[in-house]
Chain A
Amino acid sequence: MPKADRWSSDEEEIVLLSLLPKPISHLDEGTYGVVWKARDNATQEIVAIKQIKFDSDMTKEGFPISALREIGVLLSLSHESIVSVREMVVGSTPDKVFMVMDCFEMDLQAAMKKGPGASTPFAQSEVKYMMRQILSAMAHVTSIARKYEHPARNMTQMVVTLWYRAPELLFSESCYGPEIDTWSIGCIFGELLIKEAILKGTGELDQIQKIFKLLGTPTDDEYWEQLWSKQGSTFKWKNNDSDLARTFAVNSFSATGQSYLSPDGFDLLSRLLSLNPKKRITAEDALRHSYFSCGVTEQVPMFYV
Chain B
Amino acid sequence: MHDSHPSPPAGAGHEHDSHHAYAEHAPHVNYLFIFILLCICTILSAVFDLLPSKRVVTVLVLAVAVAKAQFVMRYFMHLKFEGKWKYVLLLPTAILACGLPLALAPDIGLHYYPPAIPQLQYESGARGEGAAHAAEHADEAHPEGEHPDAEATAPAHE
A-B interaction: no
Which residues of chain A have a CB within 8 Å of any CB of chain B?
A: none
Which residues of chain B have a CB within 8 Å of any CB of chain A?
A: none
